[in-house]
Each structure stands twice: as C-alpha cells, then as structure tokens.
C-alpha cells in the first residue's frame, strides 16, 4: 500500500534474459485500471548507469515500490530487465518504467544488445524519458553518460516515424555550480553527441528539437542530504501532474496508442525489437488498431447475440407477426454500435470505420432469418386479407376485374407498410423478391378464381340456354302443328289431331 492508502501495482514485464511477460503486463494494466483511460495516460521511463539511484528517484517521485540498492551490501545490480508501476496520486494515469541500469558489470562491457533494445523500447512507448546523469560527468569527454546518450540517439534512427519525446535530464548529486551553467553545458554536450551520430539520409539535416523536448533538472545527493533531496523531488513531482495538458512535460507527444491497446502495442514492439527489425510506428499503430478494434467488435457481437431484448424478439417472431420489429431491433443494434464507437474512438479512424461496418454486417446477417420470418407472416396476412376482401366484393355483386385490381392495390400498400415496419435501418435488404412473391401469389389466386367463376358462369349459361332452346322448339312445333291442322282441315273437313 502507498502512504496515502492506495494500492501499488508493480510488475516485471521483461525478464533478465529479455523475455517479455505478456500476461504479467496485461494483469498489471487490468489491476491498475489502465485499459479504461483512453488517451488520458502518460508513460515515463528512466535510464541511467547502474547504482545511480534510478529506482530510489522513481519511488520518491511517483510513490512506487521498485527495489532499491542497499549501499551497505555493495553496488550490485538491483533492477533486472524492465519493471512497470503505476504512479501514485498523479493525474493523468502515469505508467512508470524502471529499466535495467547501463554499464552493469553483470552483463559485461561487450553485451550492449539489451541496453539498445530497452532504449529503443522506451523511446517507442514513452512520452517522457528521464536520464539519470552524474553531475561530475558533465562536460567530460569520456563521461559515463555519453555512450548512453549516443545509444538513445542511434536507436532513434530505427523508428520510421519517431515520437516527439520529452528528454528529462536529471543531474544527480549536484554541486554548488549553478544549475543554469550545468544545464547549458549539458545541452551543448547533447547537441555534439546528436551531430556525431550517423543518420539516414531522411534525417541528415534534422535538428534534435524535431524529436526531443529537452528539459534539465538537478537534485542534491540523497545519501548526503536526504531532506533537501526529498524537497527537490517534491517540486519535480508537480511537473508530472497534468503532464499531457498544454504546457505540460508531454504536451507535444504524438502517435499515442489508446490505453486499451497499450499491452498489445508494447508486446509487439518488444517482439520486433528482439527480432532486430526496424520499427515502423505508423504501420504499428494501424496493427494495434486492427487487433483492438477486431477484439472489441467480436465482443460486441457476442454481447448482441446474448442480449435479452434480441432473444425475446427472435422467439416472438416464430409465433406470429411482431409489430414495430424493425424499430425494436434497430434500437438494440444501435446500442452495441454506440458501445463499439465509445471503446474504439481513439484508434485509427479508417480502421475503426472498417471494423464497425463489419460488425454491423455480421449483426444484420445474424438477424436476417428472423426478419425473413416476419416477412413470411406479413405475406400470409396480406394474402389472406386479399382473398377475403375479393370474395366479399364479388359476393356483393361487384365486377370481377375491377374488384381484383382494387384488392391487389390495397394489398400492395399494406405490404409496403408492413415491410417498412419490419426492416432495420442498418440493413439494405431489398423488397423486390418479397414484393414479387406476393404479386405472384395474388395473380395465381386471381387466375384460379377467374377460372372457377367462368366455369360456374358457363355451366349456368349452358343450362339456361338449353332450356330456352327447348321452349322455343316446343313453341315453334306447336305453332307449326296448329297451322298444318287448319290447312288440312280445309281439305278434309275435319281438323286432324297432330301430336307434338
């Protein structure tokens, strides 16, 4: 626990052999609450010779609990690999990295690989890089800090698009020499080192200020004047409060990775560095955005599939029509898309837009079977009403063709209204096939009904015509018989009885 009662979070994320402990980093980020911070966080790292008091400075400056060297037991290496901790009582959230000391005898003079790797890692992820420097080394041609600064500038050339980093030079065990003089001498040293570092063509004429904001501070000896040291550290601490705000230590930073992607970013950067490859930070930023946006989209899709509102809708459509299906489903989809937007808002816009479209498409595809069921219910309802309405009109004596046209038009209007009620705004579903299917069903029913009515009419007409024909025949035969009888009677004097 820290002095103020808050819990301290510390973890070793790179071991002494150079292996990255990804799970430890993720556990640290989750426990410390880093992942919810968006862009509101800063990363501070520290370099310096072994035994120069890096861990002691960090512990007093940030309230961390890094292991410190015990002077009584000799100047053996304490910090091995890379450790991270959360600064206590500082906003924004500040992640502090304690790097293994340079020029350590444990690794040997020729083993500078890890030193360069950790330097490149710090430059790639840090907003502020603190460098612990001995006061007595300033201005000396063979000072211990010169190889360290040269290493930092050399590895900077391996970043395709370097971050704008604040280089905070901390002069340790300062003497009575005025700080202004020390700062001027130190800055002159730094510019000489920068000018001497071989650079690729693209950076040949680049000024140090394009990549670094250089700040200088000085501290008294911790061992000889602990109280004054603590007082000076207290003043320095204030510079780290609101460090990313305008005018703050890290105000000019660029290319920030959203906090939820920090772990993925750090692990990938370390992997690339260990493989001795150059770091393309713009491409790396796209990679992190792609991985995180995919993860977030997958999570939102899973949550949607288990959403109670959606499951109730899905079950309801199997039983019958559901009013306002489209509006209800659209509201649920909007909720998860908005959730996605909130969690990805700080990632690359192009990447998050593409992944949002994919998420929306997958949700829409998942809901399409339920929508088709709704449209089937609509089809059956409209077709049934069409049949009933047409039958009623015909029974009331309305003309067949006009009645069929009227009912078809009314049914089409009803179908379009039902379609609009069922469709979700996120989908570009086409009504053409469903509309044509209904039209065909109505036409088939109309044709069948027409045939039935015509058959009925023909049968009625046939019976009526035959009876009329018999009546005419009988009447004509009777008239002819009577006429013939009269004529014969005139000749024979008697009217004959002619049967018919």
Q: How confident is the prediction for the chain on average, in pLDDT?
A: 84
Three-class DSSP labels, the chain: CCCCCCCCCEEEEECCCCCECHHHHHHHHHHHCHHHCCCCEEEEEEECECCCCHHHHHHHHHCCCCCCCCHHHCCCCCCCCEEEEECCCCCCEEEEEEECCECCCCCCCCCCHHHHHHHHHHHHHCCEEEEEEEHHHCCCCCCCHHHHHHHHHHHHCCECCCCCEEEEEEEECCCCCCHHHHHHHHHHHHHHHHHHCCCCHHHCCCCHHHCEEEEEEECCCCCCCHHHHHHHHHHHHHHHCCCCCCCCCCCCCCCCCCHHHHHHHHHHHHHHHHCCCCECHHHHHHHHHHHHHHHHHHHHHHHHHCCHHHHHHHHHCCCCCCCCHHHHHHHHHHHHHHHHHHHHCCCCHHHHHHHHHHHHHHHHHHHHHHHHHHHHHHHHHHHHHHHHHHHHHHHCCCCHHHHHHHHHHHHHHHHHHHHHHHCCCCCCCCCHHHHHHHHHHHHHHHHHHHHHHHHHHHHHHHHHHHHHHHHHHHHHHHHHHHHHHHHHHHHHCCCCCCCC
Question: Quick one: tokens of 385?
Answer: 């009403």
pLDDT at 6: 47
Strand partners, 213: 166
Cβ-in-10-Å burial (0-12, 13-18, 19+) of 200 comes to exposed
pLDDT at 284: 84
pLDDT at 152: 82
Picking from 77, 141, 79, 133, the residue whose alpha carbon sits closest to that of residue 108 is 77
Least confident of 103-117, 180-194, 298-312, 446-460: 103-117
Q: What is the pLDDT of residues 379-406, one digit of tens each?
A: 999 999 999 988 898 888 888 888 889 9
Contact 128, 90 (CB under 8 A): no
Contact partners, residue 381, CB within 8 Å, separation at least 6: 321, 418
pLDDT at 1: 42
Instruction: Tell whether the model's pLDDT for residue 465 goes beyond 70.
Output: no
* Identity of the highest mean pLDDT range in 5-14, 111-120, 338-347: 338-347
Q: Return the ∠ at Cα 440 (arms to 438 and 441), rounded to 5°.
A: 65
Q: What is the pLDDT of residues 334-381, one digit of tens each?
A: 999 999 999 999 999 999 999 999 999 999 999 999 999 999 999 999
pLDDT at 74: 44
Q: Which residue has the higher pLDDT, 490 or 308?
A: 308
Picking from 119, 145, 166, the residue whose alpha carbon sits closest to that of residue 50 is 145
Q: What is the pLDDT of residues 221-278, one digit of tens each?
A: 998 999 999 999 999 999 999 999 999 999 988 889 999 999 999 999 999 888 877 7
Contact partners, residue 289, CB within 8 Å, separation at least 6: 261, 347, 348, 351, 352
Q: Which residue has the higher pLDDT, 159 or 488?
A: 159
Instruction: Tell whether the model's pLDDT for residue 475 goes beyond 80.
Output: no
> Average pLDDT of 271-292?
85
pLDDT at 162: 65
């Amino acid at each position: 626990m820290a002095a103020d009662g808050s819990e301290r979070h510390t973890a070793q994320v790179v071991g002494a052999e150079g292996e990255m402990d990804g799970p430890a980093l993720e556990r640290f980020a989750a426990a410390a609450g880093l992942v919810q911070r968006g862009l509101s966080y800063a990363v501070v790292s520290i370099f310096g010779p072994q035994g120069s008091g890096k861990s002691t400075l960090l512990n007093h400056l940030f309230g961390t609990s890094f292991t410190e060297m015990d002077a009584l037991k000799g100047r053996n290496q304490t910090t091995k690999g890379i450790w991270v901790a959360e600064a206590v009582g500082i906003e924004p959230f500040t992640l502090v990295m304690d790097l293994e000391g340079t020029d350590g005898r444990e690794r040997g003079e020729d083993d500078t690989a890890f030193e360069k790797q950790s330097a490149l890692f710090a430059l790639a992820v840090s907003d502020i890089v603190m460098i612990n420097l001995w006061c007595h080394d300033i201005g000396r041609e063979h000072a211990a800090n010169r190889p360290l600064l040269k290493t930092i500038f050399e590895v900077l050339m391996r970043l395709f698009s370097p971050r704008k980093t604040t280089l905070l030079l901390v002069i340790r065990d300062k003497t009575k020499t005025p700080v202004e003089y020390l700062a001027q001498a130190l800055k002159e040293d730094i510019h000489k080192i920068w000018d001497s570092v071989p650079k690729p063509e693209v950076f040949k004429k680049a000024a140090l200020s394009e990549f670094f904001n250089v700040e200088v501070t000085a501290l008294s000896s911790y061992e000889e004047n602990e109280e004054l040291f603590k007082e000076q550290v207290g003043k320095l601490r204030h510079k780290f409060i609101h460090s990313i705000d305008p005018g703050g230590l890290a105000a000019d930073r660029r290319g920030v990775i959203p906090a939820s992607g920090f772990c993925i970013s750090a692990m990938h950067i370390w992997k690339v560095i260990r493989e001795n490859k150059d770091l393309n930070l713009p491409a790396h930023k796209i990679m992190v955005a792609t991985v995180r946006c995919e993860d977030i989209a997958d999570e939102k899709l899973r949550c949607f599939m288990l959403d109670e509102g959606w499951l109730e809708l899905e079950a309801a459509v199997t039983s019958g029509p559901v009013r306002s299906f489209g509006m209800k489903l659209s509201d649920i989809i909007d909720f998860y898309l908005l959730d996605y937007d909130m969690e990805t808002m700080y990632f690359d816009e192009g990447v998050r837009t593409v992944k949002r479209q994919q998420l929306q498409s997958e949700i829409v595809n998942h809901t399409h079977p339920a929508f088709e069921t709704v449209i089937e219910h609509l089809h059956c309802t409209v077709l049934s009403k069409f049949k009933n309405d047409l039958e009623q009109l015909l029974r009331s004596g309305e003309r067949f063709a006009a009645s069929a046209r009227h009912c078809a038009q009314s049914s089409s209007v009803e179908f379009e209204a039902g379609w609009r009620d069922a469709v979700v705004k996120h989908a570009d579903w086409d009504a053409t096939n469903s509309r044509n299917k209904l039209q065909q069903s109505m036409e088939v029913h109309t044709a069948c009904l027409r045939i039935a009515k015509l058959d009925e009419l023909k049968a009625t007409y046939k019976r009526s015509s035959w009876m009329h024909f018999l009546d005419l025949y009988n009447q004509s035969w009777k008239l002819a018989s009577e006429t013939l009888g009269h004529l014969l009677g005139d000749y024979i004097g008697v009217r004959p009885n002619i049967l018919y």
